[in-house]
Amino acid sequence: MKYVVGYRPDERGADAVALAGVIALTQGAALHLVNVVRGNKPADPEQERRALAMVPDGVEAAFSVRNADSFAHGLIAAAQEDGASLIVVGAASNGLFKRFTVGSVANGLLHASPLPVALAPRGYNRRDPLTRLTVMTGVREGWQAVLDVGTSAAARRHVPLRLVSVVEIDQTSQTDFELSNALSPARQHVNTVLAQAAATLPENKVTVTLAHGRTIEEAIDGIGWKSGELVIVGSSRLAENRKIFLGSTANKILRSLPVPMVVVPRDYTEPGI
């Protein structure tokens, strides 16, 4: 298994390498740190040394410079040549409180990548392995691909899997009975997903959280997050087949998260991350 990492000699590059290392730990996955440049610029040995020094011990890594007009397309081409299962980038350099803002590189990947993309929040510097995977499961088409990636990744890493369904509800004008009815479809769906995940994972390794609030951001803020957590979401049903396109709900989730996120292309059928 190999992951392509979008490296730059700045904070975003460091965030991406840190996240890639965390995801690769325990997987036997190798990292390919790719610095995409315009024009025929030679590799800088000192830059390569600094980049590889960020990789955790025990994780195999290589470094290369790639010439391309677009950083995003350069990473996609490198990933396709490598047969990689994941592209990892730093989301942007100006997010507040380690939350996300989507820069041009991440935005380009989120509209064009045929394989999952992992986004590191600003200032991400974890060195230890992941402790939990959270799958955001909605009721719209495409949730099965996200669940499959999440369950296979959790099983290989021997970490718990949490299934989260987020519902945006104006609770101020509803009785408890009305609120319960509004949440009922999401509750039924998440229990269906729970049954599928529980069939492939060890006992007590899968939990369910039904998060709701007046806004998506409020619902996300109400969920407990672990420092070693990774969130997996699916792309919009508007995406082309096996491509990524973030819908409005996924965008709101992204901008509210304090932890890294992986976006899975629509109808993705590969083994996972």
User: What's the mean pLDDT when you consider all of the chain?
Assistant: 80
Mean pLDDT over residues 16-24, rounded? 96
Q: Which residues of 46-73 are buried (b: 16+ CB within 10 A; e: fewer)?
A: ebbeebeebbbeebebebebbebebbbb
2-120, which class in CATH? alpha beta
How many CB atoms are closer than 10 A to CB 10?
A: 10
Burial (CB count <10 Å: 0-12, 13-18, 19+), residue 234: buried
Q: Measuring CA to CA, how many Å separate 122 from each of 56, 106, 185?
A: 19, 13, 35
Give CA–CA dist 156/8, Å, rounded.
30
**CATH of 132-264 among 3.40.50.2300, 3.40.50.620, 3.40.50.1980, 3.60.20.10:** 3.40.50.620
How confident is the model at residue 187, as a pLDDT?
64
Q: What is the DSSP string of 37-66?
A: ESS-PPP-HHHHHHHHHTSPTT--EEEEEE
pLDDT digits (tens, 9 = 90+) for 227-252: 899 999 887 544 455 555 566 666 77
pLDDT digits (tens, 9 = 90+) for 189-230: 667 776 777 777 776 688 888 777 777 788 888 888 888 999
pLDDT bucket at 174, cuts 50 / 70 / 90 = low
Residue 142: φ, ψ to 5°: 110, -10
pLDDT bucket at 24, cuts 50 / 70 / 90 = very high
Mean pLDDT over residues 254-272, rounded? 81
Q: What is the DSSP string of 5-44?
A: EE--SSHHHHHHHHHHHHHHTTTT-EEEEEEEESS-PPP-
Find, among 150, 82, 80, 148, the residue nearest to 109 by Cα: 80
Considering the chain, tell me which residue range(s) the CATH 3.40.50.620 domain(s) occupy.
2-120, 132-264
Give CA–CA dist 197/263, Å, rounded.
19
DSSP H or E stretch at residue 104: helix 104-112
Give CA–CA dist 116/243, Å, rounded.
9
Nearest 5°: the CA angle 82, 271, 205 is 135
How confident is the model at residue 113, as a pLDDT?
86
pLDDT digits (tens, 9 = 90+) for 92-128: 655 444 455 566 677 778 778 888 999 998 889 999 9
Residue 67, both tokens: 């010439």
Q: Are 85 and 118 in contact (CB under 8 A)?
A: no
Residue 64: φ, ψ to 5°: -150, 160
How confident is the model at residue 21, as a pLDDT?
96
How confident is the model at residue 56, as a pLDDT?
92
Cβ-Cβ contacts under 8 Å for 13 (sequence gap 6 or more): 6, 7, 35, 51, 90
pLDDT above 70 as % of the chain: 77
Give CA–CA dist 121/95, Å, rounded.
8
pLDDT at 36 over 80: yes
Nearest 5°: the CA angle 67, 93, 22 is 80
Lowest mean pLDDT among 48-62, 86-100, 171-185: 171-185
